[in-house]
């Protein structure tokens, strides 16, 4: 799973650089999209980001994520942010698999079933 993203002034941390919180959010987001590959709803338990180099604004970053391994209840997901053979950050996360009913407590019930219609495993 990958996505291309360019941090801009909306993500400003230090002058000319992306804020670590924006980078962390991007990591959580790309890892969350890997749940479509796993075909199971899950929520973030832990998220760790290693900031390896400052991320300049207006630099296209390729965010890549994959499932390292999974168990009955947990998904271990990794991600990397890079451009031109430079690794700017890496990330790892543990996601807890949940039932769709988990989200019914927090969302408009009329949207839940449509959102997850093609998401969960049928095998």
pLDDT of residue 71: 94
pLDDT of residue 16: 97
- The lowest-confidence range among 31-45, 46-60, 84-98 is 31-45
Residues sharing a CB contact under 8 Å with residue 89, sequence separation 6 or more, in sequence order: 23, 27, 49, 50, 51, 52, 53, 55, 80, 81
CATH class for the region spanning 1-118: alpha beta
48: left (phi over 0), alpha (psi -120 to 50) or beta: beta
pLDDT of residue 102: 84
């Amino acid at each position: 799973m990958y996505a291309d993203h360019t941090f801009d002034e909306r993500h400003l941390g230090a002058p000319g650089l992306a804020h670590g919180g924006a980078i962390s959010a991007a990591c959580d987001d790309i890892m969350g999209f890997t749940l479509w590959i796993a075909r199971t709803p899950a929520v973030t338990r832990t998220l760790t980001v290693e900031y390896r180099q400052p991320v300049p604004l207006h630099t296209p970053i390729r965010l890549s994520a994959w499932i390292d391994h999974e168990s009955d209840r947990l998904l271990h997901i990794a991600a990397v942010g890079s451009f031109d053979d430079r690794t700017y950050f890496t990330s790892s996360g543990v996601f807890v698999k949940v039932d769709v009913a988990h989200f019914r407590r927090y969302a408009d019930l009329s949207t839940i079933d449509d959102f997850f219609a093609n998401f969960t495993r049928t095998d």
